Amino acid sequence: MDITFENVTYIYQPNSPFEHKALDDVSFHIESGSFVAIIGHTGSGKSTLISHLNGLSVPTEGIVSIGDYHLSKEDKPKNMKELRSRVGVVFQYPEHQLFEETVEKDIAFGPANFDVPQDEIKKRIDAIVPAVGLPTSVLERSPFDLSGGQMRRVAIAGVLAVKPDVLVLDEPTAGLDPRGQKEIMEMFYSLHKEQGLTTVLVTHSMEDAVKYADHVIILNKGSKYMEGKPEEVFTQKESLNQVHLDVPEMVRFINSFKERFGEEITFEKQTIKELAQMIKSVVKGAKV
């Protein structure tokens, strides 16, 4: 589903001394099927922004459109539940939402609420549990007996079991060990490719954004600060530093390489291997 924000402003607790403008006149468009990274400093409004995607927040001003669903102050979709079954959200620390007696019941909770038939739920669970990297033996256990990383995977499975068209991820790997982070991101990415999802990823990691996203939106203090392809956005070191963000490691390397050897290499989301090849050809050709 296409996602469009038109001049969206969101104010927490309007008309009180605690009034706080968390989003300020934000506009952008996300094509169906794309993988978008939303980046910004803590408090820049990322979580507020994504809470509009399934109607948890309704814009104070402006319009949010997700496919044929339109959200504005005047006009809310009649069937909010349907919207929520099509937009799956993995919140920050999603393991806090677990509550059932067994892992299986917890994963089944979402799909059951959205009236997916029992046998279909069973089928989905059988497919999803190995996909998120859990052994099938956990299904009968209490989610509260699992490790933090396993709980996270259960919670993620619970969202995926609804089979949404749009997957929204709010810092899904925060607090995991590096290996777990990589596994989970790879899992989301292959899911994105296989099922043609539209994925919106909120992240602090430039590396993840470079690796997976084909479009990047940078927020600063509730406003859209930059937007574009990762290779365009992430090479603008000065602008990024101004909002306390850093460029990805590879861009930093390329910059240092240029300083040291005076040779220009273009950053185009290449892999480490490709970069090594390029360096090799540069070094040979330019006889450094």
Partner 1 sequence: MNNSLIIGQYVPGTSIVHKLDPRTKITIIFFYVFTVFFANSLPSYGVLVVFALASMLTSRVPIRFIMKGLTPVWFLIIFTFILHLFVTKEGTVIFDVWIFEFYSGGVIQGFAISIRFFLLILVTSLLTLTTTPIEITDAIEDMLRPLNKVKFPVHELALMMSISLRFIPTLMQETDKISRAQASRGVDFRTGPIKDRIKAVVPLLVPLFVSAFKRAEELAMAMEARGYQGGEGRSKLRELKIELRDIMVYLLFACVMAILFLTRTYS
Binding stretches for ligand ADP (CB under 6 A): 12-13, 20, 22, 40, 42-48
Number of residues that bind Mg ion (CB under 5 A): 1
Least separation in angstroms between residue 68's CB and partner 1 is: 19
Residue 187 neighbours by CB under 8 Å, 6+ apart: 131, 132, 133
Least separation in angstroms between residue 22's CB and ligand ADP is: 4
User: Which residue, among 263, 259, 253, 254, has the nearest Cα to 285 in the 3D structure?
Assistant: 263
| Span near Mg ion by CB under 5 A; candidates 6-14, 45-53, 145-153, 247-255 | 45-53
By the 8 A CB rule, do 14 and 31 touch?
no
Contact between 69 and partner 1 (CB under 8 A)? no
Nearer to partner 1, 170 or 208 (CB): 170
Nearer to partner 1, 16 or 266 (CB): 16
Question: What is the CB neighbour count within 10 angstroms for residue 75?
Answer: 10
**What are the residues facing 4 on neighbouring strands?**
29, 65
The token pair that represents 123 in the structure block: 């089928």
Nearer to partner 1, 18 or 194 (CB): 18
Question: What is the CB neighbour count within 10 angstroms for residue 259?
Answer: 8
By the 8 A CB rule, do 168 and 54 touch?
yes
> Which of 4, 9, 34, 47: binder of Mg ion (CB under 5 A)?
47
Alpha carbon distances (Å) from 4 to 26, 63, 229? 10, 8, 17
By the 8 A CB rule, do 39 and 206 touch?
yes
Query: Residue 45 touches which of ligand ADP, partner 1, Mg ion, none (CB < 5 to 8 A by kind)?
Result: ligand ADP
| Position 198, amino acid | T
Query: Residue 48 touches which of Mg ion, ligand ADP, partner 1, none (CB < 5 to 8 A by kind)?
Result: ligand ADP
Query: Residue 62 touches which of Mg ion, ligand ADP, partner 1, none (CB < 5 to 8 A by kind)?
Result: none
By the 8 A CB rule, do 212 and 201 touch?
yes
| Span near partner 1 by CB under 8 A; candidates 13-21, 193-201, 212-220, 277-285 | 13-21
| Chain contacts with partner 1 (rule: CB under 8 A) | 12-13, 15-18, 20, 43, 51, 54, 56, 81, 84-85, 88-89, 91, 94, 96-99, 109-110, 113-114, 144, 158-159, 162
